[in-house]
Amino acid sequence: MPGHPEFAAAFDAGLKGAPLPRGVTALAPAEAERRFAVYRNNVAVGLIDALAKRFPVIKRLVGDEFFAAMARHYSETQRPTSPVLLEWGNGFAAFLESFPPLADYPYMADVARIEYARGRAYHAADGTPALPDSFAGADPSRLRLHLHPSLQLLRLKHPAVSIWQMNQPGSTAQSLAHAGPETALVLRDPGFNVPVFSIGPGDAAMIEQIMGGASLTVAAELAIWTEPGFDPQPLILRLMQAGAILTPKEIAR
Amino acid sequence: MRSLPKAAGVGFKPEHFDAIRRDAASVGFFEVHAENYMGAGGLPHAQLAALRADFALSIHGVGLSIGGPGPLNTDHLARLARLCNRYEPESFSEHLAWSSHGTEYLNDLLPVPYTDETLALVCDHVDQVQEALGRRMLLENPSTYVLFEQSTIPEVEFLSEVSRRTGCGLLLDVNNVFVTCTNHRIDPRAWLAAFPLDRVGEIHLGGHDEEALPSGPLLIDTHGAAVADPVWALYAEVIKCTGALPTLVEWDNDLPEWPVLQAEARRASRILEQQGATYARAS
C-alpha cells in the first residue's frame, strides 16, 4: 500500500479528474466512484462559490452557468495557495484577459480588478479618520496626508467603473456614457461600505502624489499640471467625508 | 483558561449580526471559522470584537490540514496564534482531515486513512498546534463518504489514541457520526458506545443532505439545513451519558433567518436541561 504522501497525491489527482486513487473503496465497492465524486464536487463547488462571492458583477455579466464553468477552470489551474481564501483571486483578472471565450469582452478583466480591489479594501487594516478641524492652521506646503489603508487607485483601459456601477442592485443606468479608459478609486468608508468612484486625471494624480508622500502643495501643483484648471478642494473634501484621510503629519523643517 | 459554557451556541454569520444584537436569548456562545477573520481589519473584526465582548467564543479552524502528509503550514499556524491571542477564545478546535496538498489549498475536509503512519503524523501535528497556540485543542471527528483499503485502525480508536497521546480534547460532531455511520452502514450507537465521551469538550450539530445509492442512502454533510431528527435523538442520548456539554448548532450554507437558527439553539438548550437533569439524578 502507498504511504500517506503518495496517497494524498493520488487523491488530489483524482479530485482533478484522474482515475480513482488506489485504496479508495466502500462496503459496496462498485459505489466507490460515486462516493468519491462527493469530494470532487465539494472542492469544485466550494472554490466556485468563493469566486462567485468575490466577483458578483462578473457572474452577473457572464451568467451563472458560464461563470461556474469558467470559475471551475480557473480554480483547477490556479488553486488557492493559502487557506485564507479572502486573499484568493488576484490572478482572476489576468485569467479573464487571456480566456479565449471572453476575447470579445476586453473590459471584463478591468471589472474583475475593481471587484478584487473591493475585497482587499473590505479586509484592509483599520485607520482612524482625521477630524474636520485636524488641519486648522496647517501650512499646506508642509502638510503630508495619510490615506486609509483600504484606499486603492486603479488605472483601467476600459469604462469598468461605469460598467460596475450599472450592475449594482437598483442601478437604473441603461447605457455607457463613453467607451474610454477610467480610473477607479476604491475605499472603505467608516460604515464599512466599499464604494467605487470614477475619478478624473487631476484627482488621480493628486492621490498618487499624496500616497507617494508629497506635501499637499506639491501634490496639488502636479495635479494641476496634469489637468489644467484642476481644483483640489472638492477631492480633499470628498476624501475627508469618506474617512479616507487619517492623522495629519507636518513635515519637519 | 476559561472554558465554553455548557450551553447552546451558534455558528456566527455576519448576516445575523444585527438580529443577534437585538435578541440572542438561549445562545450561550458563538463559534467562528478562523480563516474568515484573517484579514487585517474592517467589518469582520469589528463584529467579532463586539460579539466577543458579550459572549464566550469558540474559534474553529478549517484550514490547518492536520491529517495531511506534509508539515503544517507554519505561516497559518502563526496567523491562528495571533487570532487566538487577539480574541482569547474559550476554545480552539480543528478537524481530523486534510485540506492542503503541497502549496495548494483544496477548501474541503478530505478523509484520512487510519493507519499507524497517519496516527503518528496526526499526533505530531496536534502536538505542534498545541505548542504553537499554548493551549489544548479539540479535534473533530469527520463526515466521510469513502473507506480506504489501507485503513487498519477503527475511527473511534484512532481518535481516542490521538487524544490519549497528545492530551487534546475531542469535538464530537453528532451529525458527522450519523452521516459517517449511515454511509458505511455502521450502527451510530455502537460507534458512540466505543467513543471516549469523557474527552469531549464540545458537541457540534448540523444539517445534512441525502442521496440514494444502490446500497442505501449516502448522506452529505452540507451544514445547509436544520438538524435532522435522528441526530437530535442521538444527541439526547449522548447528553444523558455525559451531562450538559457546550453544544454548537452549525448552519453555513443556504442561511436561514436568525429566528430559525435561534430556535435550533433553543431545542439544543431544552435537551441540555432535560437530559442534563437525568444525568445529574443518575450520577
Span A170-182, pLDDT tens digits? 888 778 888 899 9
**CB-based contact, A192 to chain B, within 8 Å:** yes
In this prediction, residue B279 carries a pLDDT of 82
Q: Which of A46, A122, A188 sits opposite B108 (nearest CB)?
A: A46
Residue B261 above 80 pLDDT? yes
Of residues B201, B89, B73, B205, the one with CA closest to residue B139: B201
Residue B230 above 60 pLDDT? yes
Does residue B147 lie in a domain region? yes
The Cα B199–Cα B164 span in angstroms is 9
Residue A251 above 70 pLDDT? no
ipTM confidence: 0.95
Does residue B2 lie in a domain region? no
Does residue B42 lie in a domain region? yes
Secondary structure class of A127 (helix, strand, coil): coil
In this predicted model, what pLDDT tens digit does every residue of A55-113 receive, in sequence order? 999 999 999 999 999 999 999 999 999 999 999 999 999 999 999 999 999 999 999 99
Scanning A128-147 for CB atoms below 8 A from B yields none
Q: Please tell me what DSSP assigns to residue B37.
A: G
Residue of A nearest to B220 (CA): A38
Alpha helices in B143-228 (DSSP H): 155-166, 174-183, 188-194
Residue A232 above 80 pLDDT? yes
Neighbours of B71 (CB within 10 A): 11
Secondary structure class of A133 (helix, strand, coil): helix
- Asked if residue A246 lies in contact with residue A148, where contact means CB atoms within 8 angstroms, the answer is yes
In this predicted model, what pLDDT tens digit does every residue of B99-135 receive, in sequence order? 999 999 999 999 999 999 999 999 999 999 999 999 9
In this prediction, residue B1 carries a pLDDT of 66
Does residue B3 lie in a domain region? no
Q: Which of A28, A36, A80 sits opposite B107 (nearest CB)?
A: A80
Residue A151 above 80 pLDDT? yes
Q: Name the amino acid, one letter, at A178.
A: H
- Asked if residue B35 lies in contact with residue B60, where contact means CB atoms within 8 angstroms, the answer is no
In this predicted model, what pLDDT tens digit does every residue of B185-194 receive, in sequence order? 999 999 999 9
Does residue B68 lie in a domain region? yes
In this prediction, residue A248 carries a pLDDT of 66
The CATH number of whichever domain residue B187 belongs to comes to 3.20.20.150
Please state the φ and ψ torsions of residue B91, each to the nearest 5 degrees: -150, 145
Question: Cβ–Cβ of B76/A84 closer than 8 Å?
Answer: yes
In this prediction, residue A170 carries a pLDDT of 87
Residue B4 above 50 pLDDT? yes
Distance in Å, alpha carbon of A14 to nearest chain B alpha carbon: 12
SS (H, E, C) A197-227: EEECHHHHHHHHHHHCCCCHHHHHHHHHHHC
Residue of A nearest to B113 (CA): A4
Question: Cβ–Cβ of B108/A124 closer than 8 Å?
Answer: no
In this predicted model, what pLDDT tens digit does every residue of A5-45 receive, in sequence order? 999 999 999 999 999 999 999 999 999 999 999 999 999 99
Q: Which of B40, B79, B106 sits opposite A15 (nearest CB)?
A: B106
Neighbours of A128 (CB within 10 A): 10
Domains parsed from chain A with CATH numbers: 1-105 (no CATH), 127-253 (3.90.930)
State the burial class of residue A97 (Cβ atoms within 10 Å of its Cβ: 0-12, 13-18, 19+): middle
**CB-based contact, A126 to chain B, within 8 Å:** yes
The dihedral over CA atoms of A193, A194, A199, A205, expressed in degrees to the nearest 10, equals 110
- Asked if residue B90 lies in contact with residue B4, where contact means CB atoms within 8 angstroms, the answer is yes
Does residue B1 lie in a domain region? no
Does residue B93 lie in a domain region? yes
In this prediction, residue B228 carries a pLDDT of 98
**Domains held by chain B: number:** 1
- Asked if residue A195 lies in contact with residue A189, where contact means CB atoms within 8 angstroms, the answer is yes
State the burial class of residue A72 (Cβ atoms within 10 Å of its Cβ: 0-12, 13-18, 19+): middle
In this prediction, residue A252 carries a pLDDT of 46
**CB-based contact, A34 to chain B, within 8 Å:** yes
Q: Stretch B177-192: mean pLDDT, rounded?
A: 98
- Asked if residue A234 lies in contact with residue A197, where contact means CB atoms within 8 angstroms, the answer is no
Q: Stretch B209-233: mean pLDDT, rounded?
A: 97
- A vs B, Cβ pairs < 8 A, gives 145
pLDDT classification of B278: cutoffs 50, 70, 90: confident
Does residue B156 lie in a domain region? yes
* C-alpha distances in Å from residue A31, one per residue of A34, A183, B144, B212: 5, 54, 14, 11
The Cα A43–Cα B210 span in angstroms is 18
Which residue range is the domain that position B121 belongs to? 8-282
Angle at A248 between CA A245 and CA A252, to 5 degrees: 145
* C-alpha distances in Å from residue A21, one per residue of A2, A180, A182, B136: 10, 52, 50, 35
* Residue B253, all three cell numbers: 450554507
In this prediction, residue A253 carries a pLDDT of 40
**CB-based contact, B64 to chain A, within 8 Å:** yes
Please state the φ and ψ torsions of residue B256, each to the nearest 5 degrees: -85, 175
The Cα A96–Cα A109 span in angstroms is 5
